[in-house]
């Protein structure tokens, strides 16, 4: 079921129309994201950004290999920022996560990140629709020794979530990362809220969308959808909430 980068981006990750140098491609290394307070405009050569990365990032060697491999892909702008992945790994450790879901796996960088964190009997359900990206990811999962922890579901993300709920797994997951097609974020959020336990975390990527959510253009349906979700979460009493400027904006919703 190979969809190819463009179709896959439209259906499962959202399209980043500006395909100039990604702010995640710091100094040619691919490490780094935007700075706090400059979440979508920090340049790749920003000295403070370099300082943050050089003095905080602890990247597993197989994750480094996978990141560099991913940067060969024309759509590598979809790669999660390394320091953002590290934050999510630390949060998963704090809550002793053993069951996690990745909604939008891409080449598996954060899937690998989570699989390295969960215990030996832990599980990462990875939702993806493009076997091209799954095939990139699998050798790295094997090299890191975590392939048995990862359950790749090669189908539409929402179908996998519905199947998990139908299988009686509601309220059993500890951590969910949403990084798929942006216009379906609200649907993914509602399904995720059903699947996570009390105290579980839903992490939502790209909530700032290069700042376009501040004043979405009339024809920018993606920015409008993200803005609508951001406003919904602000008043959602089912969760505790933080919106961070790491990467392209990361929301952390903790189920009450």
Question: Would you list the domain boundaries of the chain?
Answer: 1-256
Residue 127: band (very low, low, confident or very high) from pLDDT cuts 50, 70, 90: very high
Residue 22 has pLDDT above 50, yes or no: no
| pLDDT for residue 7 is more than 80 | no
pLDDT given for residue 45 in this prediction: 72
pLDDT given at position 43: 54
Answer whether residue 38 shows pLDDT above 90: no
Q: Is the pLDDT of residue 32 over 70?
A: no
Decide: residue 99, CB within 10 A, 0-12 exposed, 13-18 middle, 19+ buried.
buried
Tell me which of 45 and 226 has the higher pLDDT. Answer: 226
> What pLDDT, on the 0 to 100 scale, is given for residue 44?
60
Strand 196-205 relative to strand 239-244, pairing: unpaired
Average pLDDT, the chain: 87
CATH superfamily placement of domain 1-256:
Vaccinia Virus protein VP39 (3.40.50.150)
The predicted model scores a pTM of 0.86
Share above pLDDT 90 across residues of the chain, in percent, rounded to a whole number: 79
pLDDT in tens, 53-96: 899 999 999 999 999 999 999 999 999 999 999 999 999 999 99
CB of 75 within 8 A of CB of 9?
yes
How confident is the model over 132-180, as pLDDT tens digits?
999 999 999 999 999 999 999 999 999 999 999 999 999 999 999 999 9
Residue 4 has pLDDT above 70, yes or no: no
Render pLDDT for 101-119 as a digit per residue (tens, 0 to 9).
999 999 999 999 999 999 9
Task: Quote the pLDDT of residue 49.
Answer: 76
Q: How far apart, in whole angstroms, are the C-alpha atoms of residue 118 and residue 207?
A: 26
Alpha-carbon dihedral angle through residues 80, 61, 25, 110, given to the nearest 10 degrees: -10
- pLDDT tens readout for residues 231-246: 999 999 999 999 999 9
Contacts of 16 (CB under 8 A, 6+ apart): 9, 75, 77, 78, 210
- Mean pLDDT across 205-219: 97
Distance, in Å, from the CA atom of 195 to the CA atom of 174, rounded to the nearest integer, reads: 9
Among 83, 81, 252, 237, residue whose Cα is nearest residue 177 = 252
50 confidence band (pLDDT: 50, 70, 90): confident
Nearest to 138 by CA among 159, 108, 118: 108
pLDDT at 48: 83
pLDDT recorded at residue 19: 33
| pLDDT at position 46 | 76
């Amino acid at each position: 079921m190979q969809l190819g980068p463009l179709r896959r981006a439209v259906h499962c990750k959202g399209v980043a129309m500006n395909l100039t140098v990604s702010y995640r491609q710091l100094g040619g290394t691919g490490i780094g994201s935007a700075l706090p307070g400059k979440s979508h405009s920090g340049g790749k050569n920003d000295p403070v950004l370099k300082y943050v990365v050089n003095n905080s990032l602890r990247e597993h060697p197989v994750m480094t290999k996978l990141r560099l491999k991913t940067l060969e892909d024309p759509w590598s702008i979809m790669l999660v920022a390394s320091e953002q992945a590290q934050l999510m790994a630390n949060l998963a450790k704090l809550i002793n996560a053993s069951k996690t879901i990745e909604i939008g796996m891409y080449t598996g960088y954060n899937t690998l990140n989570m699989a390295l964190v969960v215990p030996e009997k832990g599980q990462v359900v990875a939702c993806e629709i493009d076997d091209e990206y799954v095939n990139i990811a699998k050798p790295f999962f094997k090299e890191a020794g975590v392939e048995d922890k990862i359950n790749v579901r090669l189908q539409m993300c929402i179908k996998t979530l519905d199947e998990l709920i139908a299988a009686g797994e509601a309220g059993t997951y500890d951590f969910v990362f949403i990084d798929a097609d942006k216009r379906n974020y609200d649907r993914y959020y509602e399904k995720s809220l059903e699947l996570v336990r009390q105290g579980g975390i839903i992490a939502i990527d790209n909530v700032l969308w290069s700042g376009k959510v501040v004043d979405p253009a009339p024809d920018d349906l993606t920015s409008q959808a993200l803005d609508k979700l951001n406003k919904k979460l602000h008043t959602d009493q089912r969760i505790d909430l933080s919106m961070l400027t790491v990467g392209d904006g990361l929301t952390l919703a903790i189920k009450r």
